[in-house]
Structure 1
Amino acid sequence: MAFGAVGCSEEAPPSDHTIVQPGKPGEQNKTLSPEEAESAVPKVKPNDADIAYVRGMIVHHQQALDMTALAPERAANTQLKGLADRISDVQGPEIGMMNRWLTGHDLPAVNPTDAHAHAAMPGMATAEEMAALAAASGPAFDRLFIDLMIRHHEGAIRMATDVKTKGIDVQVQEMADDVVAEQGDEIARLEGMR
C-alpha cells in the first residue's frame, strides 16, 4: 500500500500561483504573487541571543568533531565508532549551515577552531581532557569519550533550551529544536554503551 505526503513538498509554488491577502475591515482583499507575498512579510532581525547561540554552537560542534575524529583509530566499541561517525556526519554540515545563517544576516562567519574564545560554554571539554582523550585507546578511550560526549551534548541542550526562551529568529529556534532532539537521542545511546 502506498501513501503520499500531503503538504510536505519543498518545491516552490508554481509561478502562476497566487496568494490572497485579506484586506483591512471595509477594504478589498488583494491577490499577490508568491514574490509579493514574501516581501510583504516583515523581516525580523535576529536578536543578540540568536547570534550568540549560533556563534557559540559553531565552536561547540567543532569540539564534538575533534572528539569524533579520534574514534576510528582509538575506540574499541564498534557501536561507539558508528555513533561517532553519525555525530560527525550531522554536526559537520551544521557548522556550514550556521555560518551561512550568519553571513545571510550580514554577520561575519565564525572560525570553528576558535575554541579558546568559548571555553566557558556549557559542556566544553578542557584542553587537558581533550589531551587525555587523544592519548587514550581501547576501552579507556571509550569510557572517556562517552563521559565527555554526554557532558558535551548536555551542554548543547542547555544552550538550545536557553535560546528557545531568549531568541526570536524562527530558523534559530528550529536549529535549537534539532539540537535538543538529536543530541538527546545520542545521550541515550551513549548511556546504553556505558
Structure 2
Amino acid sequence: MRRVWVVGLIVVVAGVTLSGCTEEPKPEPDSPGVIVPGRPGEDAKTLAPGAAPRAAAKDEPNDTDFRYVRMMIKHHRQALEMTSLVPQRGANPTLKSFASRIADTQGPDIKSMEAWLTKNGGGPAHDSHEQMRGMASPEQLAALRAASGPEFDKLFLQLMTAHHEGAVVMATDVLQTGSDVFVEEMAQDVVVSQQKEIGQMRAMGTP
C-alpha cells in the first residue's frame, strides 16, 4: 500500500507541475517593424517595435540649419528694405499691394527665425560676409532708392525676382542637408510661396 501511495503522489505532483507549465503565457509572435520614410535622398528605415516614438522626436539642428537661418534672416531683411521703398516711389497699385504682402509675411518670419536661434542657443558663428544667393548689391539698392515711377517698378521687379530665386535655391539646399523639423517646414514654405510670387512678378512685367 505504501508503494502505491508514493507512486500516486508522484503522479499528482507531476500533474500539478505540467498544469502550471501550460498556464504560462505564450510569447507573442514578433511584431512587424515600423517603416519610417527617409529624408530627401535617403532610403526608408525599418525600426524595431517601440523605437518609433523615439525616432519620431524632433531631430537636433545641425550646422546647415543654423547657417540657413542666419542667412535667411539677412535675406528677408533686405527684402523688407526693398519693399519699404515701394509706397513712396512705386507707381503700380498692384505692385504696391504685392510688396505689402511680402512685408507682412517676411517680417513675422524674421521674428520666428530669431526665436528659433535663441531657443537653440544661437548655434555656431558664421562669417557675416558669406555670399547669399539673390542679394542685391549696394549699387543696385542705391539705384532702386534713386528711381521712381515706372522706372522704379521695373527695377524693383527685376531685383525682387532675383532675390526670390536665390531664396528658393537656398531653401532647396537646406532641405537636402538640414535636420531640424522647424527649418525644414520653413524652407518648404519658402519654396512654395516664393515660386508663386515669382510667377506673379513676371506677370507684372519682369522678363
Query: 1:181, CA displacement in angstroms?
Result: 1.1
| Alpha-carbon separation, structure 2, partners of 1:119 and 1:126 | 13
Instruction: Specify the alignment match of 2:109 in structure 1.
Output: 94
Instruction: Specify the alignment match of 2:80 in structure 1.
Output: 65
Q: How does 1:14-53 map to 2 (within 5 A)?
A: 42-53=57-68
| Alpha-carbon separation, structure 2, partners of 1:102 and 1:51 | 8
Does residue 135 (structure 1) correspond to residue 135 (structure 2)? The answer is no
Q: Number of residue pairs matched? A: 156
Does residue 104 (structure 1) correspond to residue 119 (structure 2)? The answer is yes
Instruction: Specify the alignment match of 1:144 in structure 2.
Output: 155
Residues 118-162 of structure 1 show CA distances to partners (whole Å, capped at 9, x for unaligned) of: 462000000000000000000000000000000000000000000
Larger radius of gyration: 2
Query: 1:43, CA displacement in angstroms?
Result: 4.7
* Secondary structure class of the residue paired with 1:120: coil
For structure 2, which runs of at least 5 residues remain unmatched after alignment? 1-29, 32-52
| Alpha-carbon separation, structure 2, partners of 1:44 and 1:84 | 35
* Secondary structure class of the residue paired with 1:95: helix
Partners of 2:58 and 2:181 within 8 A in 1 = no
**Aligned CA distance change for structure 1 residues 72 and 180 (closer, same or farther; 3 Å):** same
**1:74 aligns with one of 81, 84, 89:** 89
TM-score of the pair, normalised by structure 2: 0.70
**Aligned CA distance change for structure 1 residues 57 and 142 (closer, same or farther; 3 Å):** same
Q: How does 1:8-19 map to 2 (within 5 A)?
A: none
* Secondary structure class of the residue paired with 1:117: coil
Instruction: Specify the alignment match of 1:162 in structure 2.
Output: 173
Instruction: Specify the alignment match of 2:48 in structure 1.
Output: none
* Secondary structure class of the residue paired with 2:115: helix
Partners of 1:119 and 1:126 within 8 A in 2 = no
Partners of 2:61 and 2:178 within 8 A in 1 = yes
Residues 156-192 of structure 1 show CA distances to partners (whole Å, capped at 9, x for unaligned) of: 0000000000101111010001101111111111000
Instruction: Specify the alignment match of 2:71 in structure 1.
Output: 56
| Alpha-carbon separation, structure 2, partners of 1:132 and 1:39 | 53
TM-score of the pair, normalised by structure 1: 0.74
Query: 1:117, CA displacement in angstroms?
Result: 2.8
